[in-house]
Amino acid sequence: MSGVSSWLQKMRKAELQELCDSVDFKEYDGLNKNEISIALEEYLKENEDKYSSETRLAPFYRTRGRSESSPVKKEASSVFSDIEAKVKTTRRRVTKAAEELLATDDSDVEPATTRARSALTRTPARPSALSNLSFASGVPLPPSPAVVADVIDRNTVAIRTKLSDFYDESGIVETAQATRANLSSLTAIQGLIVLFELYNLRPELLPNRYAFTIPAIATLGTGPWPVKIPDLFLLLTSSFWGPATLWAFSSFLIPLTAAYFFNLTGKPRARSIHNSYTYSFDPLTFNIAKALLTYVIFGQDVTFGGLIDLEYVARINSALYGGYKGILGGTAIGTLVTLYDAVLKK
């Protein structure tokens, strides 16, 4: 290594390869840095007359004289000879392989190519990111959020319209209006009060009796359910008719008779062209008469000479909501509604 030019030794391998290419020295493949330096130095010595005039090689040729007088020149020459032999052997192998490849018959190459193409054709292609991207590009997307919002608004309006049409066709509005018109009257309010009293009185007059049992249904997860119905056989006994008659006369028939004969609304109006009656039964008189009878019979236990059985009075008092005071509360509501209706009609 001491016989190699110091200028070449200072260079890196890449710089040496670049210098080899610039001076048309191509036989450095497979050599390391030191071997390239030795081979390149020998090459430059052999072509001194060609490259000695180049400025970029002037440092090499300036140091060449000093390196030739070195006592190890012979040793460097022997090393270079070995390297040159290795390069020539490699070159012969490459040339021989190229000649064998060119000498191969075309008929042998074509089947191999054909087999490779057929194998490529039979091999299914794997899905790639490009194919996924092509699939995604085929999915239709909305052009903008405004279009999406507009579609949602149109669908909402269509659903609201269908619901409104269904609501109108169901007749709920007409039924509700008819029910309100029927309940917005003194007759309806008085009727509801009477029905409420009957609802509380029925369990006392016609108590429920066991009829049969609905068996358990495993599918629905229900247990046995006993069914009870009113004991209609009591309709044939005085246990039903005694209290029922007392309540009917004291809370309905006698007050209704008094409302018919003491009808203050039946008086002809002074400004009316034809004599007309507002009510066939005066609701105010009905409630006053009912309140008086209830207080006397159920509150003071008056029997009117033994006509009323106090046992029936006790049963009715125990059955009605709040006893006789509940009946008085119903008459108070009826009286207030009657006065309110009279004020509205003034």
Give the pLDDT confidence score for residue 109 in this predicted structure: 44
Q: What is the pLDDT of residue 150?
A: 84
Tokens representing 122 are: 């039979």
Average pLDDT on 168-176 reads 84
CA distance 20 to 8: 11
Q: Is the predicted pLDDT of residue 66 greater than 60, yes or no? A: no
Phi then psi for residue 311, to 5 deg, are -65, -40
Alpha helices per DSSP H over 104-185: 106-122, 129-138, 145-170, 172-183
The strand pairing partners of 217, in sequence order, are 222
256: confidence class by pLDDT, cuts 50, 70, 90 = very high
CA 210 to chain centre: 50
**From CA 20, how far away is CA 15, in angstroms rounded?**
9
Three-state DSSP at 208 gives strand
pLDDT reported for residue 107: 44
Is a pLDDT exceeding 70 seen at residue 346? yes
Distances, alpha carbon 196 to alpha carbons 32, 252, 296, in Å: 117, 13, 21
Strand ranges in the chain using DSSP code E only, listed in sequence order: 208-214, 225-230
Helix 186-205 with 238-248: angle, nearest 10 deg: 160
Q: Determine the pLDDT at residue 313.
A: 94
pLDDT given at position 191: 92
Whether pTM > 0.85 for this model: the answer is no
How far apart are the C-alpha atoms of 304 and 110, rounded to whole Å? 134
Top mean pLDDT of 71-75, 125-129, 143-147, 326-330 is at 326-330
Domain boundaries, given as residue ranges, for the chain: 6-119, 147-177, 185-268+276-345
